[in-house]
């Protein structure tokens, strides 16, 4: 396994991050345990989850599974850089969502209980909350840091100007601020090349891409899938819309004798700003295939052909659209 620093911190994380969103809805608890065990064996030390995963409001299905895995062998916790998220609706009350100091504190306490741990290594804001001022957010995060309940603060789905504002607001408070941003990024969705990636590079913010395989589009989707998320109707609609590109992509993968999912992941890993793409295996076998991708290096000719099939926005702003 290869390791890298998380943004401008001294924390080292594996070049692949284990995403746990399948744990519960698509992967049984027993198989989830097997995936986490195998992740440690492969050297993956970076696990990502969220309090809303499992999609039963207020239950925290996935966090509970992780908590029971930690409880099953308490030595596991010290081997994992644990990341979870706050923002999503966790109840019916008016303060059971978003980023008020009130909700941040309660959500953190609840996540700690579910995951049976005394601290969260990376506590991420799952979305921007335009109604909660930065002074309030940082007050809550700083309090949790001082109490030893979280170590680092991250974001997810932020625009570049949100990252800039957060960076300078933290400087005013003489605090570390946001150290990572979790954004959607793949060959299929390259919007963040305009501004988010340049912002991450400028501010020393680690980039953690989610959905690096395009939500299944880049995983050999034209082969009939019998189970998993590739069977969902929204994905099939996307396939119909993008069929010419998908066919060209899968043909290129055949030419270079590589699995489409491996090429998609290798392409994301090729970006030097990327810290750790999130892989969300449904089985141990999928996890092992993902791990092999670290050995796959795409040559310039292949990268050029991928750009032709899945063109990006043209580079960073404003040069991408202006002189």
Q: How far is CA 69 from CA 46, 259, 285, in A?
A: 15, 31, 19
- For residues 21 and 58, the answer to whether their CB atoms sit within 8 Å is no
Over pLDDT 90: what percentage of the chain?
94
Instruction: Give 206's strand partners.
Output: 180
CATH number at residue 123: 3.20.20.100
Give domain status of residue 322, yes or no: no
Q: In the prediction, which pLDDT does 109 show? A: 98
**14 belongs to a structural domain:** yes
Rg (CA), the chain: 19
In a domain, 246, yes or no: yes
Q: Is the pLDDT of residue 31 over 80?
A: yes
The verdict on residue 160 lying in a domain is: yes
Mean pLDDT, residues 262-289: 97
Q: Is residue 319 part of a domain?
A: no
Give a yes or no: residue 323 inside a domain.
Answer: no
pLDDT tens-digit series, residues 42-71: 999 999 999 999 999 999 999 999 999 999
- Would 314 be classed as within a structural domain? no
- Do the bridges between strand 150-156 and strand 120-125 make them parallel or antiparallel, or are there none, so unpaired? parallel
β partners of residue 319: none
Residue 176 lies in a domain: yes
- Distance between CA 131 and CA 125 in Å, rounded? 14
Token reading at 275: 């810290």
Catalytic residue of the set 5, 26, 53, 152? 53
3-state helix, strand, coil in the chain (%, to 5): 45, 15, 40
- Interval 221-231: pLDDT, tens: 998 554 555 55
Q: How far is CA 48 from CA 124, 141, 225, 279, in A?
A: 10, 19, 26, 10
Domain boundaries, position 56: 3-309
* Residue 172 neighbours by CB distance under 10 Å: 11
How many Cα atoms within 13 Å fall on the side-chain side of residue 25?
Answer: 14
pLDDT digits (tens, 9 = 90+) for 158-168: 999 999 999 99
Number of structural domains in the chain: 1
Residue 303: the pLDDT is 98
- Evaluate if residue 281 carries a pLDDT over 60: yes
- Rounded to 5 degrees, what are φ and ψ at 273? -80, -20
Joined tokens for residue 243: 């069929």
Structure tokens at 47: 């696990």
Write down the pLDDT at residue 233: 72
Question: 46-73 burial string, b = 16+ CB within 10 Å, else e?
Answer: bbbbbbbbbeeeebbbbbbbbbebbeee
CA distance 141 to 48: 19
53 classed as catalytic: yes
If phi over 0 gives left and psi between -120 and 50 gives alpha, with beta otherwise, what is residue 9?
Answer: beta
């Amino acid at each position: 396994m290869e390791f890298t620093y998380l943004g401008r911190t001294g924390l080292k994380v594996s070049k692949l991050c284990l995403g746990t969103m399948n744990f519960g809805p698509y992967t049984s608890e027993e198989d989830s345990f097997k995936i986490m065990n195998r992740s440690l064996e492969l050297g993956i030390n970076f696990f990502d989850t969220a309090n809303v995963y499992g999609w039963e409001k207020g239950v925290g299905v996935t966090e509970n599974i992780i908590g029971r895995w930690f409880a099953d062998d308490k030595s596991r916790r010290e081997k994992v850089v644990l990341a979870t998220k706050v923002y999503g609706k966790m109840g019916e009350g008016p303060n059971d969502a978003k980023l008020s100091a009130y909700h941040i504190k309660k959500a953190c306490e609840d996540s700690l209980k579910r995951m049976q741990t005394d601290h969260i290594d990376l506590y991420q804001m799952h979305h921007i909350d335009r109604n909660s001022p930065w002074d309030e957010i940082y007050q809550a995060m700083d309090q949790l840091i001082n109490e030893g309940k979280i170590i680092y603060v991250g974001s997810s789905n932020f625009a570049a100007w949100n990252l800039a504002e957060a960076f300078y607001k933290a400087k005013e408070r003489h605090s570390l601020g946001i150290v990572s941003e979790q954004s959607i990024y793949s060959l299929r969705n390259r919007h963040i090349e305009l501004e988010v990636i340049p912002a991450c590079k400028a501010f020393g913010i680690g980039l953690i891409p989610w959905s690096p395989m395009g939500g299944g589009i880049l995983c050999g989707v034209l082969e009939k899938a019998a189970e998993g998320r590739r069977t969902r109707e929204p994905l099939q609609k996307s396939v119909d819309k993008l069929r010419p590109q998908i066919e060209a992509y899968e043909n290129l993968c055949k030419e270079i004798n590589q699995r489409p999912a491996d090429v998609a992941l290798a392409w994301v890993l090729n970006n030097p700003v990327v810290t750790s793409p999130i892989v969300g295996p449904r089985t141990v076998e999928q996890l092992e295939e993902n791990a092999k991708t670290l050995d796959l290096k795409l040559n310039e000719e292949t990268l050029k052909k991928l750009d032709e099939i899945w063109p990006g926005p043209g580079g960073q702003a404003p040069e991408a659209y202006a002189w």
